[in-house]
Amino acid sequence: MDVSESSGKKYYNSLYRHGVDEKRRVQVPAKWRPARSGVEFTLIFWPKSKEGPCLRVLPPEEMAELVCDIDAMPNGDPNKVVLKRFIGSESVQVTVDKGGRICLPEEMAAAAGIQGEAVLVGLLDRFEIWNPERYEKVRSSDAIMAQEAFKMME
C-alpha cells in the first residue's frame, strides 16, 4: 500500500527511513519518484510543527495549486504577500537524480535538524522529510489527535 496512480494521480503513502549521505542526498522511495526524468519537486522549509520544523516536498501539481491558492487571496490581505515572500524565500526546486535521490540544501537540512538519517512521511498528495527524533514526537501527538480527526470522517 505505497502509492496508487489510479486516474493519473500519484499518492504518497507510508513512511520510510533512509540514510542521508555526506552530500545531504536522501533516497526518494521508488514508488514516489516521478515517472519521467527532469521533474522537479519543490522543497519548502516548514516551521509549523510545535515539535520543530521539517521539509515539505510538493510535486509540481501541488506547487502549482499552492501558488493558485495564494494568488486567489485578496490583494489587500497582508497574509498574501507574507506567504509569497516566505514560501518564495524558503523553498527550492530539486530534481531526483539517476540514483533516485534528492539533495537537501545545507541550510534547510541544518534548520530542520536532518543529518545522517531522515524519515520520509507520506501526506497523500505530498510528503515531508523529518529528523527521526522530531518525527517520533509528531507521531505521538498525531496518535492522540487522530481519534478526534477520524470522527470527522464518519
- Interaxial angle between packed helices 78-89 and 60-71, expressed in degrees from 0 to 180 and rounded to the nearest 10: 150
- Per-residue pLDDT at 143: 75
Please state, in angstroms and rounded to a whole number, the distance separating the CA atoms of residues 9 and 1.
Answer: 15
C-alpha cell of 29? 522511495
- Per-residue pLDDT at 8: 66
Say what the pTM is: 0.87
pLDDT tens digits for 138-152?
Answer: 888 887 777 777 777
- Per-residue pLDDT at 66: 94
Low-confidence ranges of the chain (pLDDT < 50): 1-6
Encode 83-133 in three state secondary structure.
HHHHHHHCEEEEECCCCCEEECCHHHHHHCCCECEEEEEECECCEEEECHH
Helix (H) or strand (E) holding 69: helix 60-71
Domain ranges for the chain: 9-151
Give the fold, CATH level 3, of 9-151.
Answer: Chemotaxis protein chec (3.40.1550)
